[in-house]
Structure 1
Amino acid sequence: MKKVMLKTTLSLAIGMVSTQVFASGFALNEQSISGMGTGFAGRSSSAEDASTVFGNPAGMSRLKRQQVTGGMAAIDAKTDISDARGNRPGTNKGDMVPFTAVPMGFYVKPIDDHWAFGLGVYAPFGLITDYEKSFQGRNFGSKSEVKVVTFQPTVSYAFNDKVSIGFGPTFNRISGNLESALKTRYSPNDGSVQIKGDDIGYGYNIGILVQATDTTSVGLTYHSKVSYTLNGHTQIEAGAGTPSQVLKNARYDASLAIETPESADFSVTQSLTDDWKLYAGSTWTRWSRLKDITAENKGVTAATGGALAPTAFTTITEEQNWHDTWAYALGTSYQLNKQWVLRTGLSFDQSPTNNTNRSPRIPTGDRTIFSLGAGYSPTEDLTIDVAYSYLKEEAVNINRTNTLGQNYSAKYENSANGFGVGATYRF
């Protein structure tokens, strides 16, 4: 029985790899509102504004004026849960993703004809899922909240008017608060397991941008992996009425090692006419690094007693076996007049999960995303961008059993609406 609670604690860590957002796994795409309008097609081959610090740092050399770009994307997700079964009673409302906002901000300053400097603050990864307390599958995950915030100073260099490169180190802070219900045959009521932790990790982004012809530009951007070891604590709360000789409240020092994956974005921007542009791109993400999740708990500060008492140092590993993914996007923009540009895009994004290991914390499948956007420039110094995206995932099935003999299976169908607003000011 010693492994029961640590196994539950480990399942909390797995919450770090699930969310219903506009990129696969727990990645976020929302670093540009102008890019959101074209479904992020052409993200590494065009430099529309200062958000190119993330999209392709080489694009900073294309911006001839000092500028600031900021914005926020909001995500309204919905999940339909059907055919739910399990040996515990409960509800399956499916509204576990609250209305969520993702902010971003960028700055670029041209230094001379060759060099440019930029700064970016954005969220490359993150999630929040919060099931109702009576959720039938609460023993396999009840709440997850993970945030990654990145600060990126960046430089770019233009060799000539055809080829430029860019590089920026990234300083990344991750924090997590993950919970799950705890129910044993000794407990008449639910207890809970909660793990909190944070860490700082380091990586880099690098890109190249080539003006292949007068009407065609090609870009390639690489975002490195980042390694973290979240240090914090695991808190176990016994359910009301649990015999003290079986389980008491306990607190452990805890650590969890995880890597956010590297990715490569290749895209092409083609000017069809003076007003029409066509964008195409593909992104590869190395999710196959996530073979398993390993949690370590040690340093008991309160006795739990009885048959469920943990050891002072225990490591438990649970397999995930994620696979690498590809995303594809096609978009277009039309310069309606001097003030207005209209955008649209269509994206296809693979899910890294598999049918064997999928859980209520990772209920995602392959997704299709349709996007619309517009940019309004009342003056040459100011552009206001808006965007809307609709995401629809394929239906996926979950079938889970734990070491206590509890089980849960269900069919999940996820969808989401995304709204973005941003502005660029040039000076």
Structure 2
Amino acid sequence: MRKVMLKTSLGVAVALASSQLLASGFALNEQSVSGMGTGFAGRSSSAEDASTVFGNPAGMSRLKREQFTVGGAAVIAKSDISGPGSNLGGETDGDMVPFVGVPMGYYVKPIDDHWSVGFGVYAPFGLVTDYGSDDAARYWGKKSHVEVVTFQPTISYAFNDKVSIGFGPTINRIEGELGSNLVNPLSPGQNDGEVKIKGDDTAIGYNIGILVQATDRTRIGLTYHSMVDYKLEGKTKVNYSVPPLGINLNDAKFDATLKIKTPESVDLSITHELDDQWTLYAGSTWTRWSRLEDITVNNDLPAQLAANPIGASFGTISEEQNWHDTWAHAIGASYKVNKEWVLRTGFTVDQSPTNNQDRSPRIPTGDRKIFSLGAGWSPNDDMTIDVAYSYLWEEDVKVNHVSATKGSYQAKYENSAHGIGASLTYRF
């Protein structure tokens, strides 16, 4: 069976999230604004506010007062695209990533000297790209839009003032839409058809962590975020009409299924209080992106369409991905100006899981570097307002694909992004 190749990568986000957000692949880092200020260095060892529910659930044991943290991050991404584009015509334009936002919210309540409970809503992954109907990349990935809501009830236990553990199951709701134009073989580059795939699923995972107060001024944290196994079910909608070839699919819909696993990751970090004003952070994150070998959508076709050689090609929509595991490393520092103000900065290097052969216009990313600044303002003991800014720049990457059914696409991408975030923590 001939395959219609749709370049895709299904990520997740609670709101529209971007492949240009501040983590590799389609992962998101924006689960904490206080962490964003230090480039997410020390993410599993800091436990500065209720966002530790995600960063390290064991860190809830350090929060001695009931509190909530709510906030969000916004990303303004830019892509400069150059090169010949498609041999079937179309614009080669940038800025295929719209303005996006990622909200977050957490709550933590200490029960006694040992037990704490908490709850979080956040976005661990995300993807949105939109090239438009006249772009040269329209046959290879005109639109990608995936979003997820992750809920995490959490519990932590402190054995003593040195060691604590935490655990939280994650309930993950994913919804996605993928779209591409289809080439009319009798008039390539004109009278395009279109295919759209929509699906959703709910799946369970978990986060677990340990926090160790190694010395009076040094903490070490280790967090494991589990793999999540999805089976999306939905519809594939096709508009594709080539009467001389016996194809007349106007608003045709087929039941569709897609299986995908989002990867597990391990975060190890250290927080060291140099003195009463300076705190240093460092951390490394390993992500098992090699789980993403390919994406395959299976459609349930009616018998008459399945008997047509061209119509049968809609039975399987697939693409090789062949991603590899990645490492991200970060360092950061904070300076406590006074009782009210703390300033933060950080620097991150993050590998891309893509490879030169299979890199897709949907996620045309390379290895990246991120510089971050942040500040926290506590006008009183009950409230803290955190803000952060990050600038991301990637190595230039190339996308080069040739297909018998879709022609060729060649382009160089120069990607960058500005990220801003703000959050409020209130303690009872």
Q: TM-score, normalised by structure 2?
A: 0.94
Give unmatched runs, 5+ long, in structure 1. none
Provide the residue aligned with 1:392 in structure 2.
393
Residues paired across the two proteins, number: 420
1:15–1:362 Cα contact (<8 Å) kept: no
Provide the residue aligned with 1:7 in structure 2.
4
What are the equivalent positions in structure 2 for 1:186-205 lying under 5 Å apart? 186-187=186-187, 188-205=190-207
Give unmatched runs, 5+ long, in structure 2. 13-17
Provide the residue aligned with 2:423 in structure 1.
422
Provide the residue aligned with 2:15 in structure 1.
none
| 1:290 has 2:292 as partner | yes
Q: Deviations over 1:258-317 (max 9, x none)?
A: 0000000000001111010000000000001111222211143995996522279x4455
Q: Deviations over 1:318-353 (max 9, x none)?
A: 321110000000000000011100000000000000
2:42–2:283 Cα contact (<8 Å) kept: yes
Q: Which residue identity does 1:110 align to in structure 2?
A: P
Provide the residue aligned with 1:152 in structure 2.
152
What are the equivalent positions in structure 2 for 1:100-139 lying under 5 Å apart? 100-139=100-139
Provide the residue aligned with 2:279 in structure 1.
277
1:13–1:256 Cα contact (<8 Å) kept: no
Q: Deviations over 1:143-162 (max 9, x none)?
A: 00001210000000000000
Provide the residue aligned with 1:178 in structure 2.
178
1:216–1:271 Cα contact (<8 Å) kept: yes
Alpha-carbon distance change, 405 to 134 in structure 1, aligned in 2, over 3 angstroms: closer
Identify which range, 277-286 or 181-190, moves more after superposition. 181-190
Q: Which residue identity does 1:380 align to in structure 2?
A: D
- 3-state DSSP class of the match of 1:233? strand
- Report the alpha carbon displacement of residue 248 of structure 1 after superposing the two structures with TM: 2.1
Given candidates 206, 213, 224, the residue that maps to 1:222 is: 224
What are the equivalent positions in structure 2 for 1:16-415 lying under 5 Å apart? 16=11, 19-187=19-187, 188-238=190-240, 243=244, 245-249=246-250, 250-300=252-302, 307-310=309-312, 314-315=315-316, 317-404=318-405, 406-415=407-416
Q: Which residue identity does 1:228 align to in structure 2?
A: Y
Identify which range, 29-38 or 123-132, moves more after superposition. 123-132
Q: Deviations over 1:24-53 (max 9, x none)?
A: 111110000000000000000111000000
Counterparts of 2:7 and 2:398 in 1: how far apart (Å)?
Answer: 20
2:7–2:360 Cα contact (<8 Å) kept: no
Identify which range, 278-287 or 124-133, moves more after superposition. 124-133
1:244–1:305 Cα contact (<8 Å) kept: no
Q: Deviations over 1:7-40 (max 9, x none)?
A: 24xx154465981111111111000000000000
- Report the alpha carbon displacement of residue 86 of structure 1 after superposing the two structures with TM: 2.4
1:41–1:279 Cα contact (<8 Å) kept: yes
Alpha-carbon distance change, 342 to 311 in structure 1, aligned in 2, over 3 angstroms: closer
Counterparts of 1:311 and 1:96 in 2: how far apart (Å)?
Answer: 28
- Report the alpha carbon displacement of residue 242 of structure 1 after superposing the two structures with TM: 5.6
- Report the alpha carbon displacement of residue 402 of structure 1 after superposing the two structures with TM: 2.0
Counterparts of 1:372 and 1:333 in 2: how far apart (Å)?
Answer: 10
1:256–1:295 Cα contact (<8 Å) kept: yes
Q: Which residue identity does 1:396 align to in structure 2?
A: V
Q: Deviations over 1:219-278 (max 9, x none)?
A: 000000000011001111026x76582332222110010000000000000111101000
Counterparts of 1:289 and 1:207 in 2: how far apart (Å)?
Answer: 22
Q: Which residue identity does 2:102 align to in structure 1?
A: V
1:246–1:305 Cα contact (<8 Å) kept: no
Q: Which residue identity does 1:7 align to in structure 2?
A: V
Q: Identity percentage over the alignment? A: 64
Identify which range, 244-253 or 379-388, moves more after superposition. 244-253
Q: Which residue identity does 1:114 align to in structure 2?
A: H
Counterparts of 2:354 and 2:334 in 1: how far apart (Å)?
Answer: 33
